[in-house]
Structure 1
Amino acid sequence: MLPAVTSSTPTDFPSIRRDRLHTLQMNLGYLCNIACSHCHVEAGPKRTELMDWTTMDTALSFIRAQGIRNLDVTGGSPEMNPLFRPFMREARALGVHLMDRCNPTIIEEPGYDWVPGFLAEQGVEVIASLPCYTADNVDAQRGRGVFDASIAGLRKLNALGYGQSDSGLALNLVYNPIGPALPPPQAALEADYRHFLYDRFGLVFNQLFTIANMPIKRYAHWLMREQRLGEYMALLRSAHRRENLAEVMCRGLVSVDWQGYVYDCDFNQMLDLPVGGQGPTHLSELIDTDLSGRGIAVGDHCFGCTAGQGSSCGGALN
């Protein structure tokens, strides 16, 4: 097991403080139709944790009070939460920009054929996992048949206008390295994705986000089994770039778990490292609280966000 990280765990990662909050990221539950080897959430088909409506309603109050501009939902597969649709409709009515971190294979699962149409109807930005543009690499990381199911799901999104330059329906793809390495330069890899996916499948998308694998949960366990955790942490530390600190996602975002507890980012959530490194804090306690200027809880895993070109939920930082 990876040693627990707490607010008292020593780290030499630089201290940082939050700017103005603009994004609420919510994990709607750990249930997922697949179980990826790089998943820092350890999501999968046997997980039962799902956010309830009381927590979602608290989030809507928080959005109103804080003037949140972006709602970023994740999981697991967030669409597998039975309350996904009513929650997204209520959030859209508040005028926020909606983002869904979608595993595109969910579209091919029985009972989820509604997903593309609903997302298009609500104008949701789709951020879809596709950790490589070749079948062998994707299936090695995510499971047999995942690449073909992902392509099928993405084509259904394309058919509704997603990824088309003039549709207003953004489709962004996410790349994760297969082994303990930093992502390659985002712009060059995006060009490779674009050419290969269009030439082979007629697929189009808006942007590619390259995201470093975080040494947390399932991916950390894999690194330890391969006896490469120390090597990977040394790589992240050696590639740290101080200029990336100004752009890390936690400066303008808070992350909420399926029970409503608040963290400085999704990675801290998985390490049970509460917002600001303090005790457990529920979203209901922060509805009218200005978080600007407050300290952000950090640990050695944070080097994953500042290494090389940097990494965030929106891809490379520079």
Structure 2
Amino acid sequence: MAQLVIMETVQVADRSKLPKHIWHDGVKWLFVPIKIILDSLSVWAERQNKMTYALSLMSGASYIYILTGQVSFIFDKESDLTTAADGIAGLILVVETVSRRIINIILARRIAKILSTIYYEFWPSNLAGDEVDKLLRRRSWIVLISVGIYSMSALFWTTQCLTVPFQIHATPLPTKFTFPYLTSPFYEMVYVWQGFLCAEMAVSICGLDLFFISMVWSCVAQFRLLREYLKTAFDKVAQSGSIHTDENSEPWNVILKCIKHHVLLIDTALSYAVYECGWHLTAYERRLEKSLVLITARAQRPITITLGGFGVLSLTSYMKLLKFCFSTH
């Protein structure tokens, strides 16, 4: 009992540090740059303490004060439709940044538990062989490069927010305050303050996007590993030619291992992997075939991601949202 308490204490103490084995994993290594980015913004779920709460509170207070200035700018008599639309666009970005930070803090423990599951319970990328490991590594790089290109466009937007308003003696974000913010030295102070927050918004949004994309990609990689492991494991069992008892047969151990590690990771393509894994070449075993039938039946209901329980996240829903945003703009 004492040893268990010590192990739990060590695990809590080292929660802010990433396990060393993920540096060499073809999929989990993506969480290394993510931790560096989000930890610098004090939003990393595994390292939430009084200091990070204080920094988040200061950042949130700054954003809320900017929100008041943006609302004043939008409803100002001198703002026409075009300038009001620019103000609304900036307001949406600020609201999104604040909302993400608040949600990340509220769900920090749950996110940390999910990360612990990915670190220690998800299979390593080299489990099904070197070819699958290389494939997963290439696709992990594709994920990182794709989000990197997206982040570069966000940083380009930040430079535009910092250079163009300075030329016309305006603030980086369309705002209107009660004090004389366009006169020196208030203008310089507001300009530096909003410029810093614009950069933080870009890094925060892109960093959290990469974080959730990497979590989804880790689940997708587990699908692929499960399918490949089923194929290779049953082939090895069939080629070994060894005889086992029904109580502790090798095919049953293979399928039991797959079920234990992937009870929540069942997708449509898995049913084809089960059918083609070579189960018919092994000795007849009723419980093994029942388990395979159960996995095949469960695979007919694919896993989906919901938008807060209001709808399913898919390409169709994304295109509808994109069309709505363009029509509104």
Interval containing the TM-score (normalised by the shorter chain): under 0.3
> As a proportion of its length, which structure holds more strand?
1
TM-score by length of 1: 0.24
Of structures 1 and 2, the one with the larger relative CO (CA 8 A, separation 6+) is 1
TM (norm. structure 2) is 0.24
